[in-house]
């Protein structure tokens, strides 16, 4: 694997948004003040980590890791992983797993009690990848309540 795994920087917005087009057929948004405001908020949030795999200057895989402060379990935080996506041309190379492992390292360094991930995918290869990365599909149950119609 020749990819570099790292956290995003302020110059990565366009490349990240291009990759997100492969996540739920997400359209490329207009880079207006609202999008720029969200981007700046993410960059300035010490608990919001976007991990990317970059290959030949292109962001080809990513996930986010959110550290959530917590008043239970000895006041230790927990972490959430979301927006896991790899460009179709780069799948099967272990890039998503490398991003997930980077997220795990962040969660460990922040003294988190657990790292949780939800997926809408029913693809066996995706589910197998999450299990191989250490996620237990039988440990907790997830419930989702959509607040907007995304379909």
| CATH code (residue 8) | 3.40.630.30
The pairing of strands 78-86 and 48-55 is: unpaired
3-state secondary structure of 134: coil
Evaluate whether 65 touches 100 at the Cβ level (below 8 Å).
no
* Alpha carbons 147 and 7: distance in angstroms, whole number: 29
Q: What is the pLDDT of residue 151?
A: 57
Query: Average of pLDDT values for 53-60?
Result: 96
Number of domains in the chain: 1
* Parent domain of 17: 4-132
145 found inside a domain: no
Of the candidates 110, 107, 106, 117, the one whose C-alpha atom is nearest the C-alpha of residue 139 is 117
- Which phi and psi angles does 116 have, rounded to 5°? -120, 145
Of the candidates 93, 88, 64, the one whose C-alpha atom is nearest the C-alpha of residue 2 is 93
150 found inside a domain: no
143 found inside a domain: no
151 found inside a domain: no
Residues of the chain above pLDDT 90, percent = 83
138 found inside a domain: no
75 found inside a domain: yes
148 found inside a domain: no
Does the structure show a pLDDT above 80 at 3? yes
């Amino acid at each position: 694997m020749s990819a570099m795994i790292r956290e995003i920087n302020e110059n990565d917005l366009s490349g990240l948004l291009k990759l997100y087009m492969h996540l739920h057929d997400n359209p490329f948004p207009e880079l207006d003040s609202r999008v720029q405001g969200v981007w700046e908020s993410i960059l300035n949030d010490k608990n919001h980590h976007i991990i990317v795999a970059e290959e030949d200057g292109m962001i080809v895989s990513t996930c986010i890791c959110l550290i959530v402060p917590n008043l239970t379990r000895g006041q230790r935080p927990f972490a959430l992983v979301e927006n896991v996506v790899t460009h179709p041309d780069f799948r099967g190379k272990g890039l998503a797993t490398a991003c997930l492992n980077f997220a795990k390292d962040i969660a460990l360094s922040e003294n988190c009690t657990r790292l949780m991930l939800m997926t809408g995918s029913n693809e066996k290869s995706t589910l197998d990848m999450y299990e191989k990365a250490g996620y237990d599909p039988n440990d907790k149950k997830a419930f989702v309540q959509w607040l907007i119609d995304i379909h």
